[in-house]
Structures are given as C-alpha cells and as structure tokens.
Amino acid sequence: MDESLLKIMSSTQPIDNVIINLKVLSAIKPGDRVTMSESCFNIQESGFLQPIKRMYNGDTRWVNLSDIQKIIDDAIRLLGTYVSYLATQRESNNAYRKPPVPKRNMWLRQRRMGNNKPDEQIVELNSDETDSDDSSGSSNLSSSTYVQPNEETCVAQIKALGEELSGCNEGLENLKQTYEHDTKMSANIDVLVQKIAMEISKATKILKAYTED
C-alpha cells in the first residue's frame, strides 16, 4: 500500500476533524447558514443579526458551499482509502485460501517424457520450485516493511464515516431550503447528496463482502 495512504490511516487527526464537521452539517436547520472558523464549521441561526455577522465575517453562500464541498470530498477520500484497503485485504485472504498445488509426480513425469537423465530433471524441477519459494519469501519480507493498519479499526472507521455522511444529508436538505430561491445553489447541494449516496453504496458493498468472508 502507498506510504501516503498508510500515513493517513495511521493518524486519527484528519478523520476526527472531518467527522466533527459532518456532525455540524447534520445539525443545520431550515433558515440556518454556516461559517468556517479554524477549520471547523459553526452554524449561524436565522435572525436579524445573521446578515450582519455574515457580512462582518466575509461569508457568502459560495464560500460556504466551497467549504462544504471540501469537507465532503475529504470524507469521501478517507472512506475510499479504508475501503480500498479492505478490498485489497479481501483479495489477499481469498488468495491464501486457494488449495495448494499438488506436487508433481517426478517419476511419472520422467517416464512420460522419456528422460534419460532423471537426476538432472529432478534437480532442474527442484531448482524451479526453490526459485519460486525464494521469490515468495522476498515478497513477504518486502510487504512487512510497512506497518499495516488494523482491519477492525478500518471497519469501524468505514462505518463511522458512512453514518456521518448519511447523517449530514438531512442538514444539506435543510440548507437547500434556506436557498430555495437559488436554483444553482440547490443544484450544487443535490450533486453533493447524490455523490454521498453513491460512495456510501460502494462502501457498503465492499464492507458486506469483507464481513461475509
């Protein structure tokens, strides 16, 4: 696995920040707007002071939309990282479960081939098997260079990200009501909701296949 992915998965800071922001998005009510401060969303409740606060902070709907898109993209990227890891592990586990290839019957092989030098044939075949074993050992040594993430942690993070992404859909729908007269804003929010649904669906399939193995 790529070292950058291992670094992301070994740290809780990126995922914690993403989950916090998704929780805030899920709490949006109709009429509310959001503002970003120190990488975290805050909700601006509807009221006569809301426009003043937004003007003071330099907030606009498009700035807010960009921040929301970034957080959701980060969440999807993290979700995809964990899902890719589990998919790779599933393929690896299935490979290990394949029945071992039976050893060749050297004597029958030599008689079938009419080999006049059985000793050389055995040496040649054994040499091939030895080379195969060596390459396998080399591969295992190479893969052990990296500290693999804990699979149980990956499953837990996939579930957490999936739940929070799904939960923020309600907040996005409420935000859409806030901007109900802005067709372009509503369309952008619809795209985000569809993207979330698609990524959750893919993650659910991989997670189900992994847990059934």
Q: Which two tokens stand for residue 132?
A: 């195969």
The reported pLDDT for the residue numbered 122 is 36
**Positions of the chain with pLDDT under 70:** 1-13, 90-149, 213
- pLDDT at site 211: 73
Q: What is the pLDDT of residue 73?
A: 94
**Integer angstrom CA distances of residue 23 from 7, 55, 200:** 24, 25, 16
- CA 159, 161, 162, 166 dihedral sign is positive
Distances from the Cα of 104 to the Cαs of 96, 110, 115, 121, in angstroms?
A: 21, 11, 15, 12
- Which 8-state DSSP code applies to residue 1? -
DSSP letters of 16-51?
A: HHHHHHHHHHHT--TT-EEEEETTEEEEE-SSTTHH
Q: Which of 211, 196, 207, 209 is nearest to 77 (CA)?
A: 196
Q: Is the pTM of this model over 0.85?
A: no
User: What does the pLDDT read at residue 56?
Assistant: 82
Q: What is the pLDDT of residue 92?
A: 65
